[in-house]
Amino acid sequence: MAENTEATGLLAVIDTKIAALQRMRESVIAAISVGAFGQGESIDPSNLPPAPSGGISTPSFSQLNGSLDLPTGIFRDKGLADAIRLLLSAAKRKTPFKEIKAALLQGGLATTAEDFDPTLSGTLNRMKRTGELLAFKEGWDLASSYPESFRQRLAQSTEGTAKTKRKSTAKKKAKKIAEFKKSIEAATPAPKPAATKKPAASDKGHLAEIGEAVLRRA
């Protein structure tokens, strides 16, 4: 019984190591396919020898429990835009913002930003404006992964939505300004009519003296 227990434990250790090595192998193949080692054009992953059989299934490079599984340090020598391109090329699917952020940091991307979210969001949107990326409800993806006709329809739909939002915002702003003016007018009291000043008695006497002097000269 003791020998069987030791043998079972040894087999479990071996199986674990095989699984880890197979996972490493798949990650390297995926990295080669997207040019992570700078030789993507000269190496065809389909020509590599098949993985050894053994009935052990391992997670793929593209997905691991719903999140990206990347080789350690794959983004260490990459700029943010290049890392995003490489990441989405490997993912081959629409990838949410949080997952992109986690994968980039996990892959060793260097950043000095205290808050990485604005930096990443700004880069994603800039790449969208230049036509490299497409934004969906499900996440971000490379524009090159979709036909030109689809990209044009998506751009038209996005522009129409943006115009509608701008019009709605302008109407709301105009309404608020009008309401503010009304509130100011209601709070400001109406000006009182100016009182007519009656001439004082001294002024009347002075005018009479001037009149008499004019008559004498005449």
The runs of H, that is alpha helices, within the chain are 2-33, 80-91, 97-106, 116-129, 148-187, 201-217
The answer to whether residues 120 and 88 touch, using CB atoms and an 8 Å cutoff, is no
Cβ-based neighbours of 175, under 8 Å, separated by 6 or more: none
CATH number of 70-170: 1.10.10
Whether pTM > 0.85 for this model: the answer is: no
Q: What SS3 class is residue 96?
A: coil
- Which pLDDT tens digits describe the chain residue by residue (218 residues)? 555 556 666 676 687 778 777 777 777 777 676 666 655 444 555 555 555 555 444 334 444 445 566 778 889 999 999 999 999 998 889 999 999 999 999 999 999 999 999 999 999 999 999 999 999 999 999 999 999 988 888 878 776 565 666 667 777 787 888 787 777 777 777 666 666 655 555 655 666 677 666 667 66
Give ranges for CATH 1.10.10 in the chain: 70-170
Q: Which pair of tokens denotes residue 6? A: 């030791």
Cα–Cα distance measured from residue 90 to residue 79, given in angstroms and rounded to the nearest whole number: 16
Cα–Cα distance measured from residue 182 to residue 91, given in angstroms and rounded to the nearest whole number: 56
The answer to whether residues 144 and 121 touch, using CB atoms and an 8 Å cutoff, is no
